[in-house]
Amino acid sequence: MAIRLEEKKQIVSEVNQAANSALSAVLADYHGVAVGSLTELRKTARENNVYLRVVRNTLLKKAVAGTEFECIQEVLVGPTILAFSQEDPGAAARVLKDFAKEHEAFEITALSVGGKLLDANQIDVLAKLPTHDQALSILMSVMLAPVTKLVRTMNEVPSKVTRGVAAVRDQKQEAA
């Protein structure tokens, strides 16, 4: 079915806006995946704040031109589904990686982070990035560790004195 020029411009504009606000992009070949499965993928993507779209390669090339995801233009071949992570850099990678585990026909083809094109085998690196909340909790535990260690050390001083006095008392009682 042919797309009118106005619709093409709207698609290019929408994808360009998503690309400008995205942190990472993941491309996959969805050829051979059932429509019902792709509907489930879209639902999962919405829940994880991932922009997911099937776009013609020619329109996608125009949409990402001038963005940090311009590097994906060289790998746009065949049926492509595009996922942009909006808040968490690893969200799109996690969603598509989990989907690919369940569907053999679904194949991740490329990733892009920070203006660099990565191979599909780098998906684990991107997918294992912590979420914002996880990163904050890791940072807080790192910041809290020295203070906790200091408190334990300072608390140990009176304990050692008390144990020393108790040992002297026990020696005197045994001697008597």
Would you say residue 131 has pLDDT above 80? no
Q: What is the mean pLDDT of residues 78-88?
A: 85
Which tokens sit at 112? 């892009």
Residue spans of the domains in the chain: they are 5-129, 130-176
> What is the model's pLDDT at position 1?
60
| Percent of the chain at pLDDT exceeding 70 | 99
Q: Which of 61, 59, 69, 73 is CA-nearest to residue 92?
A: 69
If you average pLDDT over every residue of the chain, what do you get?
83
- What fold does the segment set 5-129 form as a domain? Alpha-Beta Plaits (3.30.70)
Q: What is the mean pLDDT of residues 104-109?
A: 85
Predicted structure pTM score:
0.70
| Cβ pair 58, 108 in contact under 8 A | no
Would you say residue 110 has pLDDT above 80? yes
Would you say residue 112 has pLDDT above 80? yes
Would you say residue 59 has pLDDT above 70? yes
> What is the model's pLDDT at position 115?
78
Q: What is the mean pLDDT of residues 115-120?
A: 78
| Percent of the chain at pLDDT exceeding 90 | 1
> What is the model's pLDDT at position 43?
92
